[in-house]
Every structure is written in C-alpha cells, then in structure tokens.
Amino acid sequence: MKLKVQLACAAITLFMGAPLYLITLAALSSRRSLNEFPLSLLPTSLSGETMSTFLQSTGILGGLLNSLTIGLSTVALSLLIGLPAGYAMARYAFKGRDPYQLALLLTRALPIVVLSVPLARIFLDTGLYDTTYGVTLLHTALALPTTILITSAIFLGVSREQEEAAMIFGASPLAAFARVVVPQALPGIAASAMFTFVLSWNEVLGASILTLNRRTLPAQVLATLADSPLAFRFAGGLALVVPALIFIAVARRYLLNMWGTTLR
Amino acid sequence: MAGVTVTNLVKTYPSGNRRATDDISLDVADGEFLVLVGPSGCGKTTLLRMVAGLETPDGGTVTIGGRDVTRLPARERGLSMVFQSYAIFPHLKVRQNIGFGLTMQKVPKPEWNTRVERAAELLDLTDYLDRHPAQLSGGQRQRVAVARAIAVDADVLLMDEPLSNLDALLRLQFRAELKKIVARLGTTTLYVTHDQAEAMSLGDRVAVMRDGRIAQIGAPMDVYDRPGERFVGGFLGAPPMNFFTATVHQGSLVVDDQSVPAPASLASWNDKKILAGIRAENITITQGQAQEGVEAEVEVAEPTGSAILLTVRWAGGELKVQTGPGLRVAPGDRLRLELPAAALRFYDPETGLVLA
Amino acid sequence: MRQTRPALLLIAPSIIFMAALFLWPLIAGVTQAFHGPDGPTTQYVRRMADDPYFWEALRNTALLIVVLIPLQFALAIVMALLMRERPRFAGLHFYIWVVPLAISDLAAGLVWLSIFTDRGYLNSVLDGLGIPTYSWLSFEHPQTMFLAVVVAELWRATSLVFVIVIAGLQGVPRDYDEAASVFGATYWQRVRHVILPQLRPSLQVALILRTILALEAFAVAQALTGRNFPLLVGETYQWYYQLQNPNVATAIALVVLALSIVAAVGYLRLMRP
C-alpha cells in the first residue's frame, strides 16, 4: 500500500511538473536549438536569447508595465474597498448579511465575458476605454468578492475578545483595529493581495476587450499569437507562468483558505 | 477606588426572544469582591459586559464611583478586565502585553517600566517578559492576562470566567493566588463564573443568577446554608442540596410511612404538601438498633478520601449523604438516617421559594 | 438589529462598486443584444445562430465539459486521498500539484503547445523511441486536437478541485474513518461509504465552480489550435475583435451566462441531499 501511494504521488507530480520543466527549458533554449528536431530534454543549450528577444518585441515591455500597473492598482483598490467589508462580515451580525454574502458568491460565478463587452461600451462613453483605469476597475470587480470573503475569514481568525481587550485598556476602535487586528491579519492580507495580483495578471479576455493600445502582457501575447514564431510563444508562456510559481510558493499556507473553505 | 451600581439593567439580544438580563439592580461596594454565578445562559456574562461597556443595555444605568457611565465607551470607564480566552495579543511580547494599558494611557517610560515589572513580579512572570505568548503555557498566559489587568491600577476589575480554561489542579492553585492578589490590591472586583465552588471560595458576596435575574445575593456561607429558592440550593454545593416532598401532619413531616419532626413554624401548612431540602453533610447516620430517624437502603458508596458519599434510597426518593471516612457500608445495607430539624429548609412546592 | 449601521457603512462602498460593475453592464448587455438601432430586435441573435462556428463552438464547449469534468474529479479525489495518506515529500508534491491554480488558461495553452506542437517535446520523445511522429494539433486530426485541449485543461484546472476537496477532507474527522476500519471496512468501503458522502458539499461547490469556469475556457484552445477548435467564449472574442460586432458578441456572452445558470441550478437540484 505504502509503495503504491508513493508511486502514484510520483506519477502525478511528474504529470504536473513535467510541463513546467519543459516550458522553462523551451523558453531558456536558444532559437537555433528550438529549430532542431528532436528537441533535447536536457538543458544542454541554455541561453537567454529567446527570452530577451521576446521582451524586446513590440508591445511586450509596455504590456509588462501595464500588467504591473493594473495588477498593483487592482490590489490597492480591492483592499481599499474589500477590507472594510470583510471586517464587517467578520464582526457584525447585521441585517442583510446573508443576501449580501449570497450576492458575493453569485458575482464570482458571473462569466467575465458577460461583463466585458457591455463594459467596453460603457467605458467608451465615459472615456475609460483603452486605459489602465478601466481594466483596473474590471479586475477589481472580479477580485472584490474573493477579497471580501478571504479577509473576513482572516479577521475571524483574530478573536473579538482581543479587540475588546484593547478597548478596555484604553484603545479607540480604530486604534484597536490598527494595533491589534492588523498586525495579526497582515500575513493573510498579503496573501489575499497576491491572489488578487495573480488574478489580474492572468486575466486575458476582459483586458483584451477593454483595451486597444494599452494591452496587458497576456492580452498582447494573445493578440499577436497567430503571427508569432514558436519561440515567442514559449517565452510568453514562461513569462506568464513565473508569477504563479512565486505566488504559490509564498502563499501556500493560505491556499486552502482562499480556494477551499471560503468558496462555500 | 470606586463602587459599581447597576440599576434596572435590561438587555435583549436580537437573536433571543427573552431578556438576557431582566431588570437587574445590583450594588457592589468599594473594594468588594462580588461573584456572579449561574448556569450558562443566565445572563451573568451579559451583565458583566454591560458594566464593561462592551454591550449596550436597552434600558437602565451603570454607575462607577458615582459617575453615570452608561453611555461611555469601554475605554473611558476606568476599568480593567480579564477575559475568558485571556485575549492577550500574540504579536506582542509579554512585556508589551502587560504594559498595553499603560501604553494607551501614554504613561512615561520610567514609570511604565516600574509598573510592568511590579505586575510581572506579582504574578511570577519576571523571567518571561521577553517571550511571545506562543512560547508560554496556558497557565502562564493566564498570568499575563491578570498582570495586564492589574498593571493599569483601575478602579474596577472585571473577570469573565478567567479560570475556566485551566486544568483542574492549576485552577485550584491559581484560585487561591488570585484571591490573595486581589485582596492585596483591594480593587472592586466583579467576577463571573459558572463554577459554584469557585464562586464560594472567592467572593465576599455571591450573586446566584438564573434566567436574567439575580435569584439570591449574599455572603457565600449564608447563601449556601439558607438558599432562598430551590434553584439556588440545587445549584450551589457538590453534591447539591437534597430535596423531597413531604406532607405536614400534626407537627411531623410525613413521607409514606416515615416521619420526621417538623418545626412549629409549619403549622399553617398542616395537611399540605411542602418541599423540604437538606444538605448531604447535615444528615447523620444512626447505626445499631436505634428507632429514630427514617429508614433507607444504600445504593452506591463512593469514598472520596476525606469522606464517603452515599447514594441512598428511602420513601422520599434518592438522597445524597456525606459521612466520615470510617464508615463501612456496602450497597444493599439498610441504614437509619437522622434529618435534624435545624438543618431542614422548606420551600413552596409550587414556586420553589423558601417559606418565611 | 444589532450594529446594523456601522456594518452598512463598511460594506456600502463594495455594494456601490459592484452595482456599478456587475449590475450596470449586465443590464447594458441585455440591451446590447436585443436592441438594435431601430428598437428591439432579434437580428443579432439570428446572426449568431446562422453562424456555423457558433454551433461548433457550442458543441465543443459541451463536449469539453462532459469529458473533462468527470476525469478531473476522479483525478482530484485520488490526489486528495493520496495526500491524506501522508506520503513522503508531501510538501513537494503538494506544491507541484497546486502550482497550476495560479496559471492562466492562456499560459497553460502555451505550456502544452511546447509539448504537442509538431516539432515539440512529445514528438521528440516519440522520435527518440523510434515511433513515428504525429501532427497532434492539425485540423485534420480533430480527435487529438480535442485530446490536447482536454489534457491541458486537466493539467491546469484539476488543482482547483483538488484544493476544494482537500479543504473538505479536513472537515472529515479521522475518527469516523478509524471507527469504520475498526468495524472491519476495507479501504475502498471507507472511501465509498464514509469519506465521499461527507465530501458531498465540497464536491457540489467544486462541480458548480468548475463547470462555470470550463464554460469560460477559450485561451487554452486558442493557444493550442487557433480557431480550429472554437469554444463559446472564443467566439465572443472573435465577434468582438475580428468581426467588430459587439452586439453578436454580447448575445453569445448571454448564452454563456444562461448555460452557467442552468448548470448551477441543475447541480443544486441534482445533488440535493
């Protein structure tokens, strides 16, 4: 039994891990070696050439910058709006709490595509079309329900009594929040912020539809996909995967919270 | 220093359909240690939290040291509190935890240090000041919570089941220590617990609560010896007070074919049923051929070391009898029990209230 | 009710924001799909229905869901049960298994492109083994094209189900499991009669979520096959981008929305305890 478990785990890890290895290998191979056949499965001709060519292609560096700008603004905006709401969910038994929570869950199930096309129309009318602000708004809307649900779970982890203790000993509600709740919730909030960033980094359909020139990195890769050489596509693949590798490594502790329990 | 007065305090939680505290009035004298005790859901914690300012009453007032604080937030009431979960801050070291209240009051650094160290010394925490709470045992965390509460020198100290998360042995040890510390400080103290033994051992007075009201309030031994209602007798004491129904008949209490002498004060209840109560340790066993008392059969004998606790059955039902450790009895043995008239308490069988 | 006012103040910004970015576009979308320059119209819906690509995309999307989701759930449950056995290197396995959680479907398509493309790693391995190579992604081979999309989606999106199931398993106390084994249940009996029934709520959530997300898949197919394997959302993108017709694009988007709702409601009814 034990051996079978080990073998099965190894097999699944191979299935999950091999593509990650191969895309890294492909993106870090020289163009010349990518044209050879059969391709080598071992890192025999490592080179930064493919990646640097990719980064120098039209629109890629700008896309990278746009992706970063939009990702960070989305994080800031969704925390700004989401933290108070998450706190309210964790601490208050208010009227309408259940419908509110249900609405949050429902919006998570709303296909992005349904929002994107009408939003493009609305943004055209309001001057937000083809701006990083417009995409930030869409991405914040997508991330907000999750941010609220995750942060409310995080705030629940800091007992109410601790806040009360702070207030008994002379802290105002705001001081109690800042001195007692925030320091303890910070790692969780950071994980939630990273989740939001990755969501924004990965989102391609909305970003494609809402922009023309100010494309994000994935939107740029998608738009030029059909006309680009394989090497470009592999390099794009790696560029899109790397944040995921970092995010999962850092936020592993919170994964179950983010994708698991709060989904209910 | 200050006393606490609670007047006509009413609180109903939105989720509940009955009052958590039902028109409670209470006076705690300056420097007094008052224990609120009762089963869960009796409103004792709600009452404490309204005094603390963590809960807003629907009606009534709270005054501390003559000042009406009903509308003031907790931080302006000049009190201090020990929480059931301790609520010490995991991200702060023990030193910062103990000094939290002083930090909030912006106490100057030298004084801050002296007061934190004095509180730590009082609770044997001096060696742990630079640790984080995660590195402490449950008992030590409890000490930090108490040290934090006394460091601020508040007028009133509130404690919400502070010992309930400790294991039995530690709880006994810390109980005595807590009593000593609070007595030394002389702070007015309100203490909530569901543990009747804790209430008896700590309080200058105990208030037994039930269904949002104070059923009886008084010195621990008074309340123990003369429960004002059946509920109080059944709640205080281990084992709880024995109760049985008897008919008063011509100066006797008659149960089936058994009878014990009744005091003259029950004359007005002649030929009526009443409820009689007696503590386990007040029943005496008469061995040999004596004819006084009532007949009973031993069902269970539990030696507890310092005593033997017997469960016996007689005409009036089941009785708990506490007797000295020397007695040798076995299940099935027949005994005669004496129920001294002076130790008997009488209650109205309908209302459960004591008969005057 | 207690403390309703401060709570409402705290959630008000989120409500306003979501109304502006969910409700408004939703209403605008319905208008866009059914309202032409001369009042209400079904012309966009008819144009959508007249497009052969639409029906192919609908069929492909349905096929993808029907094939992918059972595979995905089987794999995810096996993965979760394996983790429950606390294998060696559990931390490493777990990390690799959950990495795809944060990988977009475009990235997944590109990753698997390096494997399935004609001169890619799969053919390289086949060639090394002396087996003739094969054009996996050619439009002449719709079966293997479909297979490639399924494998890429299986790789990318199984971790989501896995994580939900793992979280659900944590709520299943080991006592039950141990009690069942004391009473002589075999491993598979325990899985079938003790563990799976308690995972039901988690599985239900995962099923709804995965189906809705699978309805939205498009970049993975785009990256692997271009427009040779059209999916519904990919068609929205085509209509909007290549054909410059936002009205038909919205009509298709509403079909996706309708299917999402039907799927969610259907599962809720089907899996009612």
Are A229 and A141 within one domain? yes
- For residue B256, the model assigns a pLDDT of 87
For the stretch C54-59, contacts whose Cβ atoms lie closer than 8 Å and that sit 24 or more positions apart, written own/partner, are: C54/C235, C54/C252, C56/C230, C57/C230, C57/C231, C57/C232, C57/C234, C57/C235, C58/C232, C58/C255
Confirm or reject contact between C2 and chain B (CB < 8 A).
yes
Q: Which residues have CB under 8 Å from A101's CB, separation 6+?
A: A89, A149
- Subunit contact C1:B14, Cβ cutoff 8 A: yes
Would residue B190 count as lying in a domain?
Answer: yes
Relative orientation angle of helices C24-34 and C246-270, to the nearest 10 degrees:
120
Q: Which residues of A touch C202 (CB under 8 A)?
A: 260, 264
- What is the three-class DSSP state of A167? helix
Distance CA B81, CA B52 (A): 8
Instruction: Find the CATH number of the domain harbouring B198.
Output: 3.40.50.300
Are the C-beta atoms of A38 and C123 separated by less than 8 Å?
yes
Q: Which CATH code fits C44-270?
A: 1.10.3720.10
- For residue C273, the model assigns a pLDDT of 62
Q: Which chain C residue has the Cα nearest residue A40?
A: C124
Tens of pLDDT, residues A201-249? 999 999 999 998 899 999 999 988 888 888 999 999 999 999 888 888 8
Instruction: Find the CATH number of the domain harbouring A110.
Output: 1.10.3720.10
- Subunit contact A121:C28, Cβ cutoff 8 A: yes
- Subunit contact A234:C78, Cβ cutoff 8 A: no
Q: How many Cβ pairs within 8 Å bridge chains A and B?
A: 62
Chains in contact with chain A (at least 3 beta-carbon pairs closer than 8 A): B, C
Tens of pLDDT, residues C62-101? 999 999 999 999 999 999 999 988 888 888 999 999 999 8
Are B184 and B311 within one domain? no
Distance CA A206, CA A113 (A): 7
- At C89, phi and psi to the nearest 5? 55, 30
Are A90 and A38 within one domain? no
Q: Which residues of C touch B13 (CB under 8 A)?
A: 2
- For residue A258, the model assigns a pLDDT of 62
- In chain B, how many domains are there? 2
Whole-number average pLDDT of chain A: 89
- Subunit contact B79:A168, Cβ cutoff 8 A: yes
Strand partners, B81: B158
Residue A95 has pLDDT above 90, yes or no: no
Q: Cis link prior to A38 (omega < 30° from 0)? A: yes
- Subunit contact A260:C166, Cβ cutoff 8 A: yes
Domain that residue B307 falls in:
242-347
Are the C-beta atoms of B291 and B330 separated by less than 8 Å?
no
Q: Which residues of B touch A161 (CB under 8 A)?
A: 83-85, 87
- Subunit contact A165:B87, Cβ cutoff 8 A: yes
Distance CA B27, CA B34 (A): 10
Nearest residue to B347 (alpha-carbon basis) of B251, B248, B252, B260 = B248
Strand partners, B188: B156
Q: Which residues of A touch C107 (CB under 8 A)?
A: 202, 218, 237, 240-241, 244
Closest CA of chain B from C202, distance in Å: 29
- Whole-angstrom CA distances from C30 to A114, A122, C36, C250 are 9, 13, 11, 8
- Subunit contact C103:A202, Cβ cutoff 8 A: yes
- In chain A, how many domains are there? 2
Closest CA of chain A from B332, distance in Å: 53
Distance CA A103, CA A113 (A): 18
Are A42 and A60 within one domain? no
Q: Which residues of A touch C114 (CB under 8 A)?
A: 19, 22-23, 26, 230, 234, 237
Are B313 and B176 within one domain? no
DSSP A40-55: PSS--SB-SHHHHHHH
**Pairing between β-strand B4-11 and β-strand B156-160 as defined by DSSP bridges:** unpaired
Nearest residue to B141 (alpha-carbon basis) of B112, B162, B122 = B162
Distance CA B158, CA B52 (A): 7
Q: Which residues of C touch A26 (CB under 8 A)?
A: 114, 121
Closest CA of chain B from A158, distance in Å: 10
- At B327, phi and psi to the nearest 5? -65, 135
Tens of pLDDT, residues B73-118? 999 999 999 999 999 999 999 999 999 999 999 999 999 999 999 9
Q: Which chain A residue has the Cα nearest residue C245?
A: A117
Residue A154 in tokens:
């995080």
Tens of pLDDT, residues A58-92? 889 999 999 999 999 999 999 999 999 999 999 88
Are B108 and B171 within one domain? yes
- For residue A101, the model assigns a pLDDT of 87
DSSP A151-166: HHHHHHTS-HHHHHHH
Distance CA C90, CA C166 (A): 13
Q: Which among B15, B81, B91 has CB closest to A168?
A: B81
Q: Which residues of C touch A203 (CB under 8 A)?
A: 104
Q: Which residues of A touch B46 (CB under 8 A)?
A: none
Would residue B173 count as lying in a domain?
Answer: yes
Whole-number average pLDDT of chain B: 92
Are B23 and B95 within one domain? yes
Distance CA A114, CA C252 (A): 9
Distance CA A249, CA A210 (A): 31
- Subunit contact B14:A93, Cβ cutoff 8 A: yes
- How many residues does this entry show for chain C? 273
Confirm or reject contact between B13 and chain C (CB < 8 A).
yes
Are B176 and B110 within one domain? yes
Are B112 and B31 within one domain? yes
**Pairing between β-strand B188-193 and β-strand B33-37 as defined by DSSP bridges:** parallel
A 184-213: CB under 8 A from B = 184
Tens of pLDDT, residues B281-323? 999 988 666 667 888 999 999 998 899 999 999 988 999 999 9
Q: Rg of chain A over CA atoms, in angstroms?
A: 22
Q: Check residue B68 and give left, alpha or beta (phi > 0: left; psi -120 to 50: alpha).
A: beta
Are B174 and B297 within one domain? no
Residue B233 has pLDDT above 50, yes or no: yes
CA C178 distance to own-chain centroid: 35
Are the C-beta atoms of C127 and A257 separated by less than 8 Å?
no
Q: Which residues of A touch B73 (CB under 8 A)?
A: 167, 172
Cβ neighbours, 10 Å, residue B284: 14
Residue ending a domain, among B226, B252, B272, is: B226
Residue B114 in tokens:
């002296």
pTM (predicted TM-score): 0.82
Give the mean pLDDT of B268-280. 92
Are A70 and A151 within one domain? yes
- Whole-angstrom CA distances from B195 to B39, B160, B322 are 8, 12, 21
Residue A255 in tokens:
């994964």
**Test the B interface: residue of A97, A158, A169, A180 with most B CBs within 10 Å:** A169
Q: Which residues of A touch B101 (CB under 8 A)?
A: 169-170
Confirm or reject contact between B162 and chain A (CB < 8 A).
no
Confirm or reject contact between B15 and chain A (CB < 8 A).
yes
- ipTM reported for the complex, 2 dp: 0.89
Are A96 and A132 within one domain? yes
- Percent of chain C's residues with pLDDT above 70: 98
DSSP C87-155: -TTHHHHHHHHHGGGG--HHHHHHHHHHHHSTTSHHHHHHHHTTPPP--TT-TT-HHHHHHHHHHHHHH
* 8-state DSSP, A103: H
* 8-state DSSP, A228: S
Distance CA B259, CA A224 (A): 104
Are A35 and A92 within one domain? no
- At B178, phi and psi to the nearest 5? -60, -40
- For residue A262, the model assigns a pLDDT of 39
Are the C-beta atoms of B313 and B258 separated by less than 8 Å?
no
Q: Which residues of A touch C88 (CB under 8 A)?
A: 6
Tens of pLDDT, residues C246-271? 899 999 999 999 999 898 888 888 87
Residue ending a domain, among B183, B201, B226, is: B226
**SS3 sequence, A7-22?**
HHHHHHHHHHHHHHHH
Are B284 and B309 within one domain? yes
Are A99 and A167 within one domain? yes
- Subunit contact A252:C6, Cβ cutoff 8 A: no
- For residue A255, the model assigns a pLDDT of 73
**SS3 sequence, chain B?**
CCCEEEEEEEECCCCCCCCCEEEEEEEECCCCEEEEECCCCCCHHHHHHHHHCCCCCCEEEEEECCEECCCCCHHHCCEEEEECCECCCCCCCHHHHHCHHHHHCCCCHHHHHHHHHHHHHHCCCHHHCCCCHHHCCHHHHHHHHHHHHHHCCCCEEEEECCCCCCCHHHHHHHHHHHHHHHHHHCCEEEEEECCHHHHHHHCCEEEEEECCEEEEEECHHHHHHCCCEHHHHHHCCCCCCEEEEEEEECCEEEECCEEEECCHHHHHHCCCEEEEEECHHHCEEECCCCCCCEEEEEEEEEECCCCEEEEEEECCEEEEEEECCCCCCCCCCEEEEECCHHHCEEECCCCCEECC
Nearest residue to A100 (alpha-carbon basis) of A140, A144, A139 = A144
Tens of pLDDT, residues C125-172? 999 898 998 999 988 889 999 999 999 999 999 998 998 898 888 877
Distance CA C160, CA C167 (A): 11
Domain ranges of chain C: 1-41, 44-270
Distance CA B237, CA B224 (A): 7
- Subunit contact C257:A93, Cβ cutoff 8 A: no
Instruction: Find the CATH number of the domain harbouring B252.
Output: 2.40.50.140
Whole-number average pLDDT of chain C: 89
DSSP C151-170: HHHHHHHHHHHHHHHHHHHH
Are B207 and B251 within one domain? no
Chains in contact with chain C (at least 3 beta-carbon pairs closer than 8 A): A, B
Are the C-beta atoms of B142 and B181 separated by less than 8 Å?
no
Closest CA of chain A from B74, distance in Å: 5
- At B188, phi and psi to the nearest 5? -60, 125
Would residue B232 count as lying in a domain?
Answer: no
Domain that residue A250 falls in:
56-263
Distance CA C122, CA C142 (A): 18
**Test the C interface: residue of A1, A13, A14, A16 with most C CBs within 10 Å:** A16
